[in-house]
Structure 1
Amino acid sequence: MLSEEEAFTFVETILKPNYLNDLQGLVFRQCWLGKTYQMIAEENGYDADYIKVAGSRLWQLLSDTLGVKITKSNIQTVLRQSFNKTPSLSISPLGQLPFSDGTVPRNSPLYIERPPIEQRAYAEIIKPAALLRIKAPSKMGKTSLMLRILAYAKENNYYTVRLNLQQANNTLFTHLDPFLRWICANIAHQLNKEPRLDDYWDEELGSKVSCNAYLQGYILESLDNPLVLAIDEVNHLFEYGDIAQEFLPLLRFWHEEGNNIEIWQNLRLIIVHSTEIYIPLKLQQSPFNVGIPIQLPEFNLEQVQALAEFHSLSNIIDNEGSEPLKNLMKMVGGHPYLIRLALYHLYQDKITMKQLLEEAPTPTGIYDHHLQNHLITLQNNPELAAAFAKVIKAKKPMQLETIIAYKLASMGLVKLQGKEAFPSCQLYCLYFSVVI
C-alpha cells in the first residue's frame, strides 16, 4: 500500500531535477486523500476554478513524465503500478538536495509549512493594496516564505519585483535622492523596462514626490496586472535613521494611496525584517502598524518529525519514539535552520543523536561555524556581548536597553517577553557562557 508521503516522494523523484511547486504539492496531496477540487479550494482559500486548472496541469505533467494517461480519478492506481515496477528506485529526497545554508529552494520538499501562515499570506497578497509584514529572527525562513508568496503571485499572473536592501551600496544610504532612484531603477530593471528616471524626477518637487510620480505614472499605469513589490532586509535601514525616517513613511503612503487612487490598489507590498523597529516614527507614519503582520514561529514537534521523515530518519524515530527529537529541541528549540542542520548531519554523517548533542556547543560540533559567526558579531559589538553575557548568567528574564534587546533578538540569541529578554536556546547558553 503506497502512503500519501511515499507517493509524494516518488513523484518528486521521478520529476527530478524539477519538483512540484507548492500549489501542485497541495493539490497532489489533497487529491490523493480523496478530496474534491471544491473542498481543496474552500479549505485553503483558493478559487475552485484555479485549483481545477492547477490539477489539470499537474496530471498532464505526470502523464508526460510516466508516459501513461493520469487523471484525478486514477492517480492512486497508476502511481502504485509505476512504483511497484521500480522497486529499486531510491526515493530519498535528501540525496537530490544539497544542504542550503540560507533560503530553502522554492520547489524543495524540505520546506515545512507553518499553517495557517502560508495560506493566509496567499489569500492576502491578491487583495487590493495589500501589505504583508514578515518578521522573524535570522535564519527562521522569512525569505523562503517571501519567495513562495512571490511564486503564488506569479501563478496569478501578477508582476513581481524583489529588492534586498543589503545589496545596496552604503553610499546610497547617505542621501534620500540616490536611494529612491536606486529603488525605482531596480523596479524598472526587473520589469524589463527602460529606467527613464530623469523623465519623472523633478528637483523642485523633491525626491519623494518624484518617486511617487514615477511609480504611478511610469510603472503602475503601464502594467496590465498588479505588481507585488517585496523588500527584504528592511531592518538594514534602521542603521540609517535619516533615510529610514523618510522611506518607511513612504511605504505606508503607497499602501494607503490605494484608498484614494484606484491605480495604487495594484501595488501589493511585502516588507521583510528581522527585528522590531527601533527608530522614532510617528504612529500615523509607520508601515509597521498597518497591513497584515506575519511573525514566523519556531517549528513544533510535529513539524520537526515531518522534516525528519524527509531526511529518511523515520526508522530511527519509530524505534526510539520521539525522545531523540525532543532532546534535539531541548538543545536548539524549534529553530528551523538549527533543526535542519542537525537532521542533515544525522542522515549524511550517520552519527548518533547522543554524539551530535554532546558535541553541539563545542568546536568539534556541527554548529561551530554558526556559533563562530555570532561570536565575531558580538566581539565587534562589545555592548551586545556584555548584554548577552548578563542574560546568560541571569536565572530569569531580564530587561535590556531597547535597541540592544532588539538587535540580540534579530540575531536569534534571545527571545523577548514584553520588555524582558532570555536566552533563546540551551545551545547558546552552553557555548557563550564559556567564550564571552
Structure 2
Amino acid sequence: MEAEISQADFLIVFLSARSVHSEMVEWEIRKAHELAQVRGGYPAIMPVRLAYREPFQYPLNAYLDTINWAFWQGEADTSRLIGELIEAIAGGKLSLGEKEVKAQLVQISDRHSTLASPFPSAQPVTLEMPEGTMDCESRFYIERPSDAVALQTIRQKGVTITIKGARQVGKSSLLIRTMKAAEDIGKRVAFLDFQLFDKAALEDSELFFRRFCFWLTDILEMEDRVEEYWKAPLGNSQRCTRYMQGYILKELGCPVVLAMDEVDKIFSAQFRNDFFSMLRSWHNCRATMPIWKQLDLTLVTSTEPYQLIDDLNQSPFNVGQTIALEDFTPEQVTDLNHRHGRPLNSNEEWRLIGLLGGHPYLVRRALYLVANRLVSPDELFANATADNGCFGDHLRHHLSLLHGKTELIQGLLEVIRQNTCTDKRIFWKLRGAGLVREEGRIVQPRCQLYANYFRENLRE
C-alpha cells in the first residue's frame, strides 16, 4: 500500500460511517499528506463521503476539512460522481469546497467546545464507538488513579506535566480531561498536535520554531508578530523564548496551558535537543521570573522521555509531574463490561482478558461490537486474528507500520519466541508502538492477540 500511495498522483478515499473509524484509512490519508509535502502536492487527496454527513473527527478533520470533498448518497449519484472525479483528476476541483457549502451538508452537532483540541468521536445515544479521544462526559471513560493526579496538578500554578504510555492507552483522552479542568478554572488552553508539523518543518530548525510560534499565536487568537521578533540576531530557541515571554505571556495577561500531543514526532529532528532544552528552561524560569508561572506545560509522548534529549539536565521530562498510563486491570475491564450492559458473561470476560489483556482500545472495541450485536462472542474469539475479523483492520495497520523495518521485526519475533529483547533501543520503540510490555526482566507481547497474529504473519 505504501508503495502504491508513494507513486500515485491522486488518492481517492471513500469515507463511510464505518471507514472513518478505520486505522488503515487514517494511515493512508496521513501517508498521502506527508508525501504531498515533499512531492509538490502529490498525491492529492480526494475525499468522497458515502452517505456520511457527520463532521470528520480528529485527526481526520485536520487533514480533510481544508480540502474539497465529493458526496455520494446512493446509486443514482454514481455517474455524476465518476464524472466529477474524472474532471478533478484532469485539473478541476471536487464540488464541496467552501465552508458554507460544507456546513449545509454536514450535520453539525449542537455540542460546542471552546477548547482548541481534538474532537471526541461522535457519540451514539447508548453506545460509543471506541475510536478517537473520549468526551470528558463519557460514561465509558474509565478513571485510573493517575487521572486524579493530573487533574489536581493542572489546578496549580505554573506546572509541568508529562503523560506517557503506549499507543492507544488513553493518553490523548486524559490530556483532553486535563485541558478541560484547566479551562474550568479560567486558564487559556493552546493545543498543539505535533503530528501536524509537515516534513519541511521537521527538517528545518528555523522553519519549525517560526511555525511553532505562529501556530501558538493563531490558536490563542492573537496578532501575529513572529516576523518582528525573528529580526533579533539570536538563536531560534532564544527568539521563541522572547516571543513567549515578551509577547504571549505579557499580552495575554492570564494563565495559559501549552498542551502538546505526540511530541515524539520530532524525535528524529536534528533540533530536538534545542527544542526540549528550551521547554526545560521555561520550566526553570518560573523560579526567578514570576511571569513564567503563568505558563503550564503538558507533554504527551509514547517514547521513553530519556530518548528524546541527550542531556537529561536539559530535559523537560524529568521535572514536574510524570503520569505513566498503563493498560486496564481485570477489575477495570469488568467495570467496562458492566457499563456496556454486560454483553459478556463471566467466562467470556475472562477469555477476553486472556486474549487482549487490558488493552484499552481493543477491549472497548470488542465490547462495543458484542453489545451492539454486530458480532457474537463466539465469532469474536474464533476470528480474532483473521483479516475479516473484529481486529483485522487494527492488526493490518500494525503490520503495515512494521513493513521494511527489519530490526523491529526481528526484535518483536525475539519477544514472541524468547520473552526477551536484547537491544534496549528496539524494546523502547516496540513498547512505544504499543506492541510489547515488560514485567520485571521478562518482555512479552502486549497481549495474546498480538503474539498469535505476529507469530503467523511476520517474516524475518
Are 1:435 and 2:427 matched, yes or no? no
User: Cα deviation per residue 1:246-274 (whole Å; 9 max; x = unaligned)?
Assistant: 11111111111101100001100100001
Are 1:256 and 2:284 matched, yes or no? yes
CA distance in 1, matches of 2:193, 2:209: 14
CA distance in 2, matches of 1:137, 1:198: 38
Q: Which residue of 2 aligns with 1:272?
A: 300
The one of 311, 321, 328 aligned to 2:352: 328
Give SS of 2:190's match: strand
Shift of 1:382: 1.9
CA distance in 2, matches of 1:290, 1:110: 32
Q: What 5-or-longer segments of structure 1 have no aligned partner? A: 1-92
Are 1:134 and 2:163 matched, yes or no? yes
Aligned residues: 335
Q: Which residue of 2 aligns with 1:382?
A: 406
CA distance in 2, matches of 1:363, 1:146: 32
Kept in 2, the 8 Å contact 1:249–1:286? The answer is: yes
Kept in 2, the 8 Å contact 1:298–1:335? The answer is: yes
Give SS of 1:133's match: strand
Kept in 1, the 8 Å contact 2:264–2:303? The answer is: yes
The TM-score with structure 2 as length reference comes to 0.70
CA distance in 1, matches of 2:387, 2:235: 54
Are 1:351 and 2:367 matched, yes or no? no
User: Cα deviation per residue 1:7-36 (whole Å; 9 max; x = unaligned)?
Assistant: xxxxxxxxxxxxxxxxxxxxxxxxxxxxxx
Equivalent residues in 2 for 1:24-39, closer than 5 Å: none
Equivalent residues in 2 for 1:271-420, closer than 5 Å: 271-277=299-305, 278-313=307-342, 316=343, 320=345, 322-349=346-373, 351-394=375-418, 397-417=419-439
Kept in 2, the 8 Å contact 1:110–1:310? The answer is: yes
User: Cα deviation per residue 1:162-199 (whole Å; 9 max; x = unaligned)?
Assistant: 10111011111122211111111111111111111122
CA distance in 2, matches of 1:286, 1:232: 17
Kept in 2, the 8 Å contact 1:400–1:420? The answer is: no
Kept in 1, the 8 Å contact 2:162–2:321? The answer is: yes
Give SS of 2:323's match: strand
Shift of 1:348: 1.4
Give SS of 1:302's match: helix
Give SS of 1:162's match: strand
Q: Which amino acid aligns with 1:301?
A: P
Kept in 1, the 8 Å contact 2:209–2:236? The answer is: yes
Are 1:421 and 2:443 matched, yes or no? yes
Q: What 5-or-longer segments of structure 2 have no aligned partner? A: 1-122
Over aligned residues, Cα RMSD in angstroms?
1.8
CA distance in 1, matches of 2:371, 2:406: 38
CA distance in 1, matches of 2:312, 2:267: 16
CA distance in 1, matches of 2:439, 2:279: 29
Higher helix share: 1
The TM-score with structure 1 as length reference comes to 0.73
Structure 1 segments of 4 or more deviating over 3 A?
A: 93-98, 417-420
Shift of 1:287: 1.3
Kept in 2, the 8 Å contact 1:133–1:293? The answer is: yes
Structure 1 residues 280 and 250, CA gap change in structure 2 (3 angstroms): closer
